[in-house]
Structure 1
Amino acid sequence: MSATDTPSRPLASLDIKKEVERYALVLGWIFLIAIFGLLLPDTFLTWRTFSSMLGSQAVLVVLALGILIPLTSGDFDLSAASILVFGSMFLAVSNVQWGWPVGLSVVAVVLIGLIAGLVNAFFVLFFRIHSLIVTLGIGTFLNGMTLWISNSRTVSGVSMELVEIVVIQRLFGVPLAFYYGLLVALVMWYMLEFTISGRKLLFVGRGREVARLNGVPVERVRAIAFGISGGLSGLAGVLYAGMTGSADPTSGLQLLLPAFAAAFLGATAIYPGRFNPIGTLVGVYFLITGITGLTMLGADAYVQSLFYGGALVVAVSLSQLVRQRQPQHFA
């Protein structure tokens, strides 16, 4: 062995460790699939199960990607699930009861989500109120609006045109809803990695004062982040209405917890130490695989809450540990 070979060993082991850390969540997901596959070979390891998991969780994927944007800039959006529910209800009411074309209702819902996000930004940035308080208040206000426009009733009969392009039509046996979520994740990944706007968002998340001193318009970046979060939450509401063909005034609010859990889980993978859309996508399906497997094993309903709640605490803890160990760059 030559003297030049000695220093390369620690470097090589360090590179391997970093790669394992990057893909630990993916490996964990594969391990979870293997465990449930061994326990339930005849039911879990079927294409029907996997296509159902992929297609049915598009709403959660888009919602998690929506809250990912303000998280990246250092803010929280607790109104995202409420925007989703209000959006799905507004679509159902406008399409079924008011007679709007479904296309117009879809555009209106996305715009409503965008406006709600900008309202969040206004109160957070103009009055310097913490985002947790503002978004919680706006979310509660929207919950009341949902009950008002629906008379606290489920509205069914959403146009089959929407249902068809969300769940009925399939590509490779998977509902198109899955590909919509995948497309959003890929677009977000490209924006964050290869555009100036995306890099500014990452810069603001790393340190607002440093970003401001370097000429980054911090308030504008944060406002845009809230707006995008609201718009994507509205889009999630459209998918939610399309997947069920109806809208319920409370169903959908429970998606907020798993969305945050997926976002924080994603921050431990692919690009450890920062929120990223590909990691979030993996995080969503890691969680859903666990829930699906436990349900097939006959677990009681409360196990889902235990799983999501525990996953959120663990994910936040891990993401904080990883973030503290990462150098301050965006690679």
Structure 2
Amino acid sequence: MMTEAASPIPATPSPATPSAGHRPAFRLGRFIERIALIFVWLLLIAFFGALMPQSFLNWGNFSIMFASYAPAAVLALAIIVPLTAGDYDLSVGATLTLSSGLIGVLNVWHHMPIGLVLVIALGVGALVGMVNALFIIYFRIPSLVVTLGTTSLMTGIVQWMTNSSTIGGIDNALVMAVVGGRLLGVPYAFYYAMIVVVAMWYVFDYTPLGRKLLFVGRGREVARLNGIAVDHVRFGALVTSGVLAAAAGIIYAGVLGSADPYSGLNFLLPAFAAAFLGATTILPGRFNPWGAIVAVYFLATGITGLTMLGIPLWVTNVFNGGALILAVTISQLTRGREATDIG
């Protein structure tokens, strides 16, 4: 392939390649795009703060929000790993529920040590990822179909093993480790999510594995022709997604102090919305962990503010659904423009 540097004909600036005169404006536009969601988030905080200065603009309120949405944050991070490789994992919400349900059943009903139970929960998350990968990669079944099926399967298993009831009394050691301790007034649950963000950011941006993951998502055949073991990368992405979803279930069980066989699935829609909305900020056009975490707490702020205003419960579903549609639309437009700019 002839590169621009090797071409004997001087390259003419195209609409996708800004000329020197337009480069400052282009860079300013890109910078604004990178921080737009953060700016809107601050405006949202200011809006609810003006309406409810005493109750909303309270550090205790933000502390609770940061901790209670930590499972959703880890779940959004679980989603973006296979998404970056071009696969969808709709089973993360059910994996979260299965993980927390296992903790309740094994620790409370069967009196197993909490440390061993957490290892089992993470192992089951890895197993879910392997099963998904088996059908998606080796049997060539679309990821949406496979993960939708495993979602239904795990939902039924959780309802069976918990007798469709909430299991309280989870070992206090887990509760204390998740929400008992605080740093700067914020429970540890939030910092666990931030640890995952930093780890994923490092892998995505500074390791060959992260570049391979991105390369596979941009074009599997091209990646394969360049010597990348595409199936291995996709397999690892799906297993990582399962483990992170199980970790979100552990945090969820610690936040609640119990295992709920239903409510974990409520995180799926906002987590997907956050994954796609996060692809419109920080690094527009790419699924990225920092964008995902900003998007999670942007959505959390909106839901918390609306709830405190006494808005009916159905508005939350409308808010999350509308956010998902808008996020996917903007993300696709951004990714399309990014590809044009590269081309």
The alignment's TM-score, normalised by the length of structure 1, stands at: 0.96
The one of 190, 194, 205 equivalent to 1:182 is 194
Equivalent in the alignment of 1:196: 208
Equivalent in the alignment of 2:161: 149
2:280 is the counterpart of 1:265: no
Q: Which amino acid aligns with 1:49?
A: N
- Aligned pairs for 1:150-165 (under 5 A) are 150-165=162-177
Structure 2 distance, partners of 1:80, 1:253, is 9
- State the shift of 1:8 in Å: 5.2
- State the shift of 1:217 in Å: 0.5
Equivalent in the alignment of 1:66: 78
Identical-residue share of aligned pairs (%): 52
Structure 1 distance, partners of 2:202, 2:341, is 17
2:41 is the counterpart of 1:29: yes
Equivalent in the alignment of 1:302: 314
Gaps of 5+ in 1: 1-6
The one of 100, 113, 118 equivalent to 1:106 is 118
- Aligned pairs for 1:1-331 (under 5 A) are 9-327=21-339
Gaps of 5+ in 2: 1-18
Equivalent in the alignment of 2:3: none
Q: Which amino acid aligns with 2:51?
A: L
Structure 1 distance, partners of 2:111, 2:314, is 40
- State the shift of 1:11 in Å: 1.4
Structure 2 distance, partners of 1:9, 1:295, is 49
After superposition, give the CA deviation of every residue in 1:232-290 in whole Å (9 maximum; x if it has no partner). Answer: 00001111111111112112111100000000000000110010000000000000001
In structure 2, the residue corresponding to 1:121 is in which secondary structure? helix
Displaced runs of 4 or more, over 4 A:
none
Greater displacement, 9-18 / 277-286: 9-18
Taking only aligned residues, the RMSD between alpha carbons, in angstroms, comes to: 1.2
Structure 2 distance, partners of 1:192, 1:88, is 28
Q: Which amino acid aligns with 2:62?
A: F
The answer as to whether partners of 2:168 and 2:257 remain within 8 angstroms in 1 is: yes
- State the shift of 1:109 in Å: 0.3
**Number of equivalent positions:** 324
- State the shift of 1:9 in Å: 4.6
- State the shift of 1:155 in Å: 1.1
The alignment's TM-score, normalised by the length of structure 2, stands at: 0.93
Structure 1 distance, partners of 2:138, 2:148, is 17
- State the shift of 1:126 in Å: 1.0
The answer as to whether partners of 1:73 and 1:205 remain within 8 angstroms in 2 is: yes
Greater displacement, 279-288 / 143-152: 143-152
Greater displacement, 76-85 / 148-157: 148-157
Structure 2 distance, partners of 1:243, 1:299, is 24
Q: Which amino acid aligns with 1:148?
A: W
- State the shift of 1:327 in Å: 3.8
In structure 2, the residue corresponding to 1:129 is in which secondary structure? coil
Q: Which amino acid aligns with 2:249?
A: G
In structure 2, the residue corresponding to 1:103 is in which secondary structure? helix
In structure 2, the residue corresponding to 1:308 is in which secondary structure? helix
Compared CA separation, residues 278 and 267, structure 1 to 2 (3 A): same
Structure 2 distance, partners of 1:329, 1:184, is 30
